[in-house]
Structure formats: C-alpha cells, structure tokens
Amino acid sequence: MAVITGGDGIARATALRFAAEGARIVGADIVEDKMRETARLVADAGGEMTYLATDLMDETAVNRLMKFAETTYGGIDVLAHFAMDLRVGDLPSVSVEDFTYTLTRTATMTFLVSKHAVPFLMARGGGSIVLAGSQSGSLGAGFLGNTGHLFSYSVGKGAVIRLGVVLANVLGKHGIRVNIVSPGPVATPNAVAFFGEEGSSERSLLVDSHMLLGRISFPEDVAGAALFLASDEASNITGQNLHVDGGMTASGGMGLANEEAQQIYDAMVPRADGTRDGSSPNRNRRRPAKSKRVRHQSGRQ
C-alpha cells in the first residue's frame, strides 16, 4: 500500500506505475480535481486508488491523511512524496515572503509528510520512503544555463536531499529505508513555460544540449526510479540520491562535448603519439635538446 502525494505529472505517473505492479494507492493533494483524474486513469488501467484532498502544510490534515490510509487499506508500506509548490525568481527579486513560501512548500512539507507517515510504517515493521529531490538541489545555481531563476527552490530541494539522508540514518533501525529521486528537467504540463515545446529550438538549446543522452526526462522515467527505490529490489539501499536527468549531473551540467570546442582542442592538443589532428607523427614531434657539457673547476668562480 502506497501513499503518493501530488496531483499530476510525476505523481500521476508514479501512481499508475505502482498500481500496475499491484499496489493500492491513496493519493493526496490540495487540488482534488487532479487526484480525481489520476484515480480514474488508475481504475481504467485496472488498478485501485482512492484519494483525500489534503493541505499538506496543515499538520493536522497530514495526520488525518495517514489515518485515512490505514483505515482504508490496513496500513502504509510506502510513502512517495512529490507534492510541492514554489515561487520563481532570482536573488535580487526574491522577497523574504517568496523565499519562506518556497522553503516551507519544499523542505517543511517534506518533513511534515515524512514525520506523520513514520509511525504507520513502523506499525507495519518497516517500509520505504521516497522523497522528491531535484537536480536543482545539488548542481550549480539550480537552473539551466546556471542561472538563478530557481533560487529559493534550489535551496529548498537541497534541504530535502539532506533531510532524506538524515531520515535514513535515524530510521534505519526501524527497518524504514529512505531514498531520494532527483529529476533534472521533466516534460510535465507545467514545464513548457520553462523548457520550450518538444522539437523547438528553445528545447534544444535550454535542455537537450545539456543531457548526455540528448533528451529531456518524462514523468515515467522518474516513476520507474521511484518504483525501484520503493521495491524489494532495493531492499539494501537507503540514504541514496538517485539522479534521473539524462546524465546532466554526471557531466557537471555541461552535456555532450561541444563540437566547435572539440575541433579547437583536436588541433591544439597532441595525441599520445605526438601528433595533432591532421598532422603526421614527425611533424609535431619535438627534437630532443642537445646536452651541453659543463666543465667544473673546483675553487674557481
């Protein structure tokens, strides 16, 4: 049985993937219409899902959600937390209110949901928590082009990643595994405003060129990683941050080698045999310098 927070995008793909593996789902989000549609899709695919409209910043409501899951399905085995909210802006434009709003709806929300799920996981003898980190929480300024437009979000997701590691250390003795899945850019309905349309020049420049695998991630990519981390296949894995970003983090955000830079360095940098691009082995090989004989005369300058 899995509690999955978030109404659409990655959360919806995760609910569908978990249900396809036989999990019963309780969904939670503040927007009921999104969860209703996810539940319909799960049912159409032959799965089982119910939901409870929940303000995940309300601690009483979060506790009510966990009790609802226990009453409905007898307990909780997995928490997969994807719900969040943010305000966009770089450092000069971010107010204290904007910063606090984003931090509470990333880090604080994650804390609340995890805190109130733990007693129910412990009652089952253990379980798995999968938290939504982000490439923004661990790489550069957190946004494509290393710009600071996700300043508060990057700080918040960095806190979520660290929270997951600390929880793994605290909860391991109770048989509860805690891992983080950190997506890079993901093609969700809300992402077009940031990443451009599929096949557009904006998408190629802003996203695809930064990926070692040459494409943006999709919600199903992240859902597959979350399923693995939650499953018995990962029974000895905890405290890990799994990047699902097409190799963006592995490249330091630089992506594939730039062709123009490659040509320049091919011409500048000698190969192991002493040649450069387009040259013969002897053309660029330096002749060894002739040694000079020095006569030493003791006692004389």
Residues with catalytic annotation? 153
Helices (H), the chain: 10-20, 32-44, 59-73, 96-103, 109-123, 151-171, 192-195, 201-206, 219-230, 259-268
Query: Which uninterrupted H or E stretch holds 26?
Result: strand 24-29
Query: What is the rounded CA–CA span in Å between residue 15 and residue 265?
Result: 48
The CA distances from residue 72 to 16, 34, 53, 86, 161, in Å, are: 19, 20, 15, 31, 30
Close Cβ partners of 95 (under 8 Å, ≥ 6 residues apart)? none
- Give yes or no for a contact between 164 and 179, defined as CB atoms under 8 angstroms apart: yes
Q: At what angle do helices 109-123 and 59-73 cross, to 10 degrees?
A: 30
Q: Per-residue b/e over 144-171, b at no fewer than 16 CB within 10 Å?
A: beeebbbbbbbbbbbbbbbbbbebbeeb
Query: What is the rounded CA–CA span in Å between residue 186 and residue 192?
Result: 10
